[in-house]
Amino acid sequence: MAESPHLLHRLYEIQQKHRYIPDESIGEVADQFGLPISQVRAVVDFYAFFYTSPRGDYHILFSNCTSCGYQARGVDLLQLLSQQLGVSINQTRADGRVSVHETSCIGLCDHGASLLINGIPLVRLDPAGIWQMVGLIESGKPLTEWPQAWFHIDNTLHKRGLLLETDLSPGEGLQALLARGWEEILAEIVQSKLRGRGGAGFNTGLKWRLCKEAVAEARYVVCNADEGEPGTFKDRMLLQQYADTLFEGMTICARVIGAREGYVYLRGEYRYLLPHLQTILARRRQTGLLGKSILAKTGFDFDIEIVVGAGAYICGEESALIESLEGKPGIPRSRPPFPVTQGYLGQPTVVNNVETFIAAAHIAYKGGAWFSSVGTVESAGSKLLSISGDCAAPGIYEYPFGVTLQQILQDCGADNVQAVQVGGPSGTLIDQSAFHRRIGFEDVSTGGSLMVFSDQRDVLDIIYQFAAFFAHESCGFCTPCRVGTTLLKQNLYKIVTNQGTRYDMAELQHTSELVRRYSHCGLGHTAANPILDGLQSFPQFFERRLIQRDFSPHFNLDAALEEARRMTQRDDVDAHLEQDIE
């Protein structure tokens, strides 16, 4: 498949040249792609990694992930960096030398405090490193002359299981496919009971079959490599070390459903992996594992293109991802219809994540029984976990489904744990009385993130950071989520800053339930999870910050009326309101 210019990639090119996307370029791009200017502008405005004002020669995106510890040991490294560089957070310095912006998790939680500088990850930050970095920036040193250890990513794989113990050789899964035929391979996938590894757990064999059976002009295979759930980084490792097996799984899927084109939607934060992935794709084309007549089989044509996202967490939701692939803002579609019958370009599309395709490739070669011999009744096989936070050995662990949280905490060297957040902010916050619970679709489901919080952490601060994350990442399409997530953040802020009352606790509960119930997509349905879990399992963290009055307004009523007083030129005593209402 010839690499076609994708709208997002064209915008990246322009941005690379100008350090932002100038207004006049929007019209040029609209002409080039035959799109209305309003659509291109909407795309630029939607994605956090497209800028309409210039960024610095050194453009820094500092991860504010709860797990990475950028505020550890009493020093806020982001504040320190911005102070030393003399630039406010989320601003470009007047001389254009540097810009410092805050961003959500960049998938490096096993490397401590981290940032992206001109798209390249820089890890294990500490105050001394920040000082040194400031000096290098001020002297204009190119990144190639910076200490290279800062850019080294380890991929700390602590525990291998079913999938990672022995990798496939390129082509092994495909040879099994051609030897046995797609019907038998689909039967193996069904027998394996493989379920999607993104968290929702839809049956993979069923998804592939539904796609195959849908009437269509074309079918598509899409890999969701947009792992944006804070605390998740296992796909980073899989993409670096197991990309061949991923592409093999996608190609097997293509043969089963009858697709000729596939896409990997790579999260913008992992853009630095693109050259590596392109190299593997090129090698597969050269060796007959991709392209026309794969393994010399006439009519077996399939190729893969990589599309890089642009910093929108919501694009991890499959219909939003498809919108983004089509060059639009990543706003989730109404479902049904589901992508399996009307997905990319309105055609049947299988969307699975990186881990699922890798599992499928193994199943094609080793069989469904091999896979389902591990795990539990509802959750066959293994699960890769990204473990981070307060533990001695953060990194990637592969466990059979059914493992207890207690076992995981013991393995990663976590002591004095008061809580774990499983499945990222949208997942489940669990207190120590429930560490007997098990990872699996029938108990604690997860896309792969597990954050550990010791008794030195304030759980309410963590919940507030999660609420801020959702308020920031809400795509804004539907009111319950757009307004509700902001209200939740504001309400929590009031409590965190010791201004809350019991009334605010009740409001939190009420608003959480509204957001969960009436939002349009999964982001909204799960955005209040940490608050509801916190109110249930950790009420003491809320209560100890409450003031004792029954009611206190969200904002300063008297100050809000200042403009009215100015307009009426009335500022006597009677024109003021009591601020505190008992």
Of 525 and 549, which CB lies nearer to ligand SF4 in the complex structure? Answer: 525
Of 370 and 518, the one with the shorter C-beta distance to ligand SF4 is 518
Cβ closer to ligand SF4: 146 or 518?
518
* Residue carrying the six token digits 């998938």: 107
| Nearer to ligand SF4 among residue 70 and residue 470 (C-beta) | 470
Q: Which of 51-59, 118-126, 442-450, 513-521 is the region at the interface with ligand SF4 (rule: CB under 6 A)?
A: 513-521
State in angstroms the smallest separation of the CB of 375 from ligand SF4. 31
Instruction: Decide: is 332 part of the binding site for ligand SF4 (CB under 6 A).
Output: yes
Nearer to ligand SF4, 245 or 485 (CB): 485
Q: Does 482 bind ligand SF4 (CB under 6 A)?
A: yes
Question: Dihedral of the CA atoms 437, 441, 444, 445 (nearest 10)?
Answer: 150
- Tell me, what amino acid is at 79? Q
- Does 324 interact with ligand SF4 (rule: CB under 6 A)? no
Place of tokens 């493989």: 194
The Cβ-side half-sphere exposure at 108, using a 13 Å CA radius, reads 29
Question: Cα(5)–Cα(69) distance, rounded to whole angstroms?
Answer: 38
Rounded to an integer, what distance in angstroms lies between the CA atom of residue 68 and that of residue 76? 12
Min CB(314)–ligand SF4 separation in Å: 5
CB 289 within 8 A of CB 246: no
Min CB(523)–ligand SF4 separation in Å: 4
Contact between 537 and 422 (Cβ < 8 Å): no
Min dist CB 518 to ligand SF4, Å, is: 9
**Binding to ligand SF4, residues 67-106 (CB under 6 A):** none
Stretch that binds ligand SF4, among 26-34, 164-172, 229-237, 468-476 (CB under 6 A): 468-476
Quick one: which of 174, 475, 535, 546 contacts ligand SF4 (CB under 6 A)?
Answer: 475
> Using CB under 6 A, which of the segments 40-48, 251-259, 353-361, 472-480 binds ligand SF4?
472-480
Give 8 or 521: the residue with its C-beta nearer to ligand SF4.
Answer: 521
Total residues at the site for ligand SF4 (CB under 6 A)? 14
Q: What are phi and psi of 49, to 5 degrees?
A: -95, 10
**Count of positions (residues) in the chain:** 582
Which token pair is 549?
Answer: 């009055």
CB of 330 to ligand SF4, least distance (A): 9
**Measured from the CB atom, is 427 or 440 closer to ligand SF4?**
427
Residue 264 DSSP SS3? strand
Alpha helices in 62-144 (DSSP H): 77-85, 127-138
CB of 514 to ligand SF4, least distance (A): 12
Among 477, 538, 541, 542, which residue interacts with ligand SF4 (rule: CB under 6 A)? 477
Contact in structure between 402 and 438 (CB atoms under 8 Å) = yes
Least distance to ligand SF4, CB of residue 258, Å: 31
Residues in 515-534 at the binding interface with ligand SF4, rule: CB under 6 A: 519-521, 523-524
R_g (Cα) of the chain, nearest Å: 25
442: its two tokens: 């029938």
Q: Does 161 bind ligand SF4 (CB under 6 A)?
A: no
| Nearer Cβ to ligand SF4 (314/429) | 314
CB of 10 vs ligand SF4, minimal distance in Å: 25
Neighbours of 95 (CB within 10 A): 10
**Contact between residue 182 and residue 256 where contact means Cβ atoms under 8 Å apart:** yes
Burial 534-556 (b: 16+ CB within 10 A, else e): bbebbeebbeebbeeeeebeeee
Binding span for ligand SF4 by CB under 6 A among 225-233, 239-247, 263-271, 471-479? 471-479
Q: Are 224 and 353 in contact (CB under 8 A)?
A: yes
Q: Kindly state the DSSP code that residue 438 receives in the 8-state scheme.
A: B
Smallest separation (angstroms) from ligand SF4 to the CB of 466: 15
Q: How far apart are CA 359 and CA 250, in angstroms?
A: 11
Which residues from 275-314 bind ligand SF4, rule CB under 6 A? 314
Q: In terms of CB distance, is 310 or 523 closer to ligand SF4?
A: 523
User: By CB under 6 A, which span of 112-120, 275-283, 433-441, 477-485 interacts with ligand SF4?
Assistant: 477-485
Token pair of 199, please? 């968290």
DSSP single-letter state for residue 286:
H
Q: Is the four-CA dihedral 67, 70, 76, 78 of positive or negative sign?
A: negative
Closest CA to 67 of 13, 19, 24, 106: 106
User: Which one among 161, 476, 557, 561 touches ligand SF4, defined by CB under 6 A?
Assistant: 476
Residues that bind ligand SF4 (CB under 6 A): 314, 332, 474-478, 481-482, 519-521, 523-524
